[in-house]
Chain A
């Protein structure tokens, strides 16, 4: 074939080779090119395929969480039960506990059943309990305490149906499966069917799932993600405003200023090692450092944010350093040559060019922080916590709260299958939250991208 040593350097195929007709070697190379390209496409395809599979299973499992079954009934607010002293004194009214409100609601539903002439074997209003969410009494009580004048009147009241009823309408609970169920009977389902006919029982969009607070095990129908979303929000604020600047600053120091010595090597190794520390160990650290040592409040998003900051830092540092490294030295030279200081050359030229990588690191780091549960376990943000809206910004950072992934994790563990659907629904919200969070970074990243 080739005689590479011959004078003048003969080519295997003279000038006559046509450009459009490839020789065998070119064919091979082109085939390998095609293969390579196909691998790339296949890799992206695989990634996207998994994404689609995951998203479909998330959406198909979770979309039902956004609909909820309600019962709409007029409730008579019996003064005898709610204000035994008859003086409308708020202090007295608030002495009546939720247990006092339950019969009123059960009566209301039972009357509705009788008014509509629905045939049923139940004779006692108390039997209606299975249809009604335990949250209804608390809701009604709040409303009465806020407006004691309502007592004695009949108010139209939209109450949550119990999770079993909701499950029945969503097809999760079937007539044969309830034969084993202690909480609800076939007779109840007959009533539900009848009430649904006339619209007393209906499904509608459940804003409370997005905005509401967590509920106890026995009230899945009431549980919402709103409060823990705020928890995540405040944590992410902490992470973003600490991890990003600190991470970028540390990277700049290490990549651009640090002298090459044992000490900076030590810092460098430490940072990459921190990336491999299991997140739960950061929880141990957070508990020791922030709660036990610094006496910050327990279960507070501030502490969670600080802990996650420490966890996210290595990710940001590693990606930032990688992209700083990729900026060609001639750019630095150019800046130094016109008399810019090192600091100026870094901040004016190198950093903007490294921005895409920094933003990528931020996106990935924040995504990781947003989805992390394990460290929160140890600083008290997992469990039954997200029950109250924080009042104001300071309490947003300081008062006990959970976070979205912790809430979802908690729901996924709960026994009532109604929580299973909510866990998936929660994941949908989490992903939307993540996307919203990332859009800014992605848009910025596209702005900064350039080739030179």
Chain B
């Protein structure tokens, strides 16, 4: 039975369960049930779906493994040609099996035929080709018989899967319905379920973090085995070279990241905040309806466009003012300033839109309180509304800062690729992120420190931002305890 069918059957059972559970309590009469009828419905539906779908998923994940190992055992080493692996033979087997399925499905072959054909008598590659299934080579008899076994095993597996899943669903249905009497705490049962769902959603963040750490840590380890950590963290020079003898000190990159992010935030936070304040406090509904989504377009423009904007427009513009013909501080159009400014523009909506929503949800009574004391609108905003909205605004600013740290394209185009420690904001610099990308997509030997350093950079940045976040949480907590 196709999985989709199974899925729909369980869904249908769940729907039936929902209605039945609901009906049972509504028709029972007598004392008012503990929970709303819908909760009894959901309770039954949950009991139908959760075990059945869980079993379905587990089965779907496990069956290929089991069938594979069965077929592999049957094939033995004999069937694996020189230079190939059992894995590849198996993918051939699967392809032939799928091909047979497709051929049968198209009516080009009966299913008995599919199970009985032999390579000696049929050109399987041709037959499958008719059904639009391309094979890389002719089919050996081992592969064909393995494919046939594969199909039978799968068919059996699918049969049992359907049986088990449907049984579970029916069982859940029965269980749920017997529970559906007035004194059962259906709402609590459903809410516990929902709570678990909410918790697992939050846990996904941890899974992601673990995933990131796992996918970085191996190569980082590798890197530190061939390149001393003391130099990575101790050196102030970043100069990779193919011939070996690279100096890979992280400090210039960290400095660049910090510098560019700060400039970006110096641009984005005031503009974003002022825009948010204006939108939520001063602007008429019409202006707000238009200006806010328009500003949000800034967040949607692909960063490559910003990169080009930095390179072609902002860089030359700054150069004409601060370059040789002007103040003489700037060597070339690409500089920390260029990248920071442009990144700041990109980040405006991150600050403005989010802050606008938060400011807008500050209760009107607080505004009234302040106006009633003869405060001007700006005083009210500065001293009452912004402090009240602060936790949310901090969130928005942190988000913008995070984005600034993670941004690549603008840095690549706007800041130049020079890794250096300098205080002059008109110098070219680069960031950790930009270097992760460039070292990862470069030409260096992938087992060389020049390529592996990307992982070490990623890991270090990850740990640093983690530290910053812990610090930010601490600060926010401390602040929050003061009010509220």
Contact = CB atoms under 8 A, between A and B. Distances in A.
Interface of A: 29-30, 32-33, 36-37, 39-44, 46-48, 50-51, 53-55, 57-58, 245-247, 249-250, 252-254, 257-258, 264-282, 284-285, 287-289, 310, 313-315, 317-319, 321-323, 325-328, 341, 343, 353-354, 356-357, 360-361, 363-364, 367-368, 370-374, 377-378, 405, 408-409, 412, 427, 430-431, 434-435, 438, 442, 446, 449, 451-452
A57 B271 contact: no
A279 B406 contact: yes
Given A40-B282, A54-B305, A313-B204, 12 more contacts: A43-B270, A249-B201, A276-B406, A278-B458, A318-B396, A323-B358, A327-B361, A360-B354, A368-B299, A374-B408, A427-B305, A442-B293
Contacts of A373: 302-304, 409
A-B pairs, 5 with minimum CB distance: A40-B278, A367-B300, A43-B274, A249-B201, A322-B392
A43 B399 contact: no
Interface in B295-310: 295-306, 308-309
Contacts of B350: 364
Interface in B129-160: none
A22 to B, nearest CB: 11
Given A267-B202, A267-B205, A360-B354, A37 B403 contact: no
A357 B358 contact: yes
A261 to B, nearest CB: 13
A446 B274 contact: no
14 contacts: A249-B201, A268-B473, A274-B208, A278-B436, A280-B433, A280-B440, A281-B458, A319-B354, A319-B396, A357-B357, A364-B299, A367-B296, A367-B299, A368-B403
Interface string B458-484: 100110011011101100000000000
Contacts of B306: 54
A364 B349 contact: yes
Given A54-B301, A279-B406, A438 B206 contact: no
B66 interface: no
B302 A285 contact: no
A442 B392 CA distance: 20
Interface stretch (B50-58, B244-252, B373-381): B373-381
B353 A42 contact: no
Contact of A341 (B187, B197, B279, B382): B187
Contacts of B378: 32-33, 36-37
Contacts of A37: 278, 282, 377-378
A438 B470 CA distance: 33
Interface string B201-234: 1111110110110111000000000000000000
B206 to A, nearest CB: 6
B402 A249 contact: no
A149 to B, nearest CB: 23
Contacts of A53: 309, 313
A51 B297 contact: yes
Nearest to A272: B469
Given A274-B208, A368-B299, A353 B361 contact: yes
A406 B478 CA distance: 43
Contacts of A44: 274-275, 278-279, 283, 291, 295
Given A40-B275, A313-B208, A269 B470 contact: yes
A284 B298 contact: no
Contact of B203 (A267, A277, A446): A267
Contacts of A280: 408, 433, 436-437, 440, 458
A327 B272 CA distance: 22
Interface in B395-416: 395-396, 398-399, 401-403, 405-409
A277 B465 contact: yes
A37 B357 CA distance: 19
A57 B313 contact: yes
A285 B274 contact: no
B391 A325 contact: yes
A284 to B, nearest CB: 5
A252 B199 CA distance: 9
Contacts of B292: 442
Given A276-B402, A279-B408, A371 B302 contact: yes
A35 B212 CA distance: 47
B334 interface: no
B211 A47 contact: no
B195 interface: yes
Contacts of B194: 343
Among A44, A254, A257, A363, find the residue whose CB has the most chain B CB atoms closer than 10 A.
A44
A451 B365 CA distance: 10
A371 B410 CA distance: 13
B364 A270 contact: no
Given A272-B398, A367-B296, A430-B302, A285 B215 contact: yes
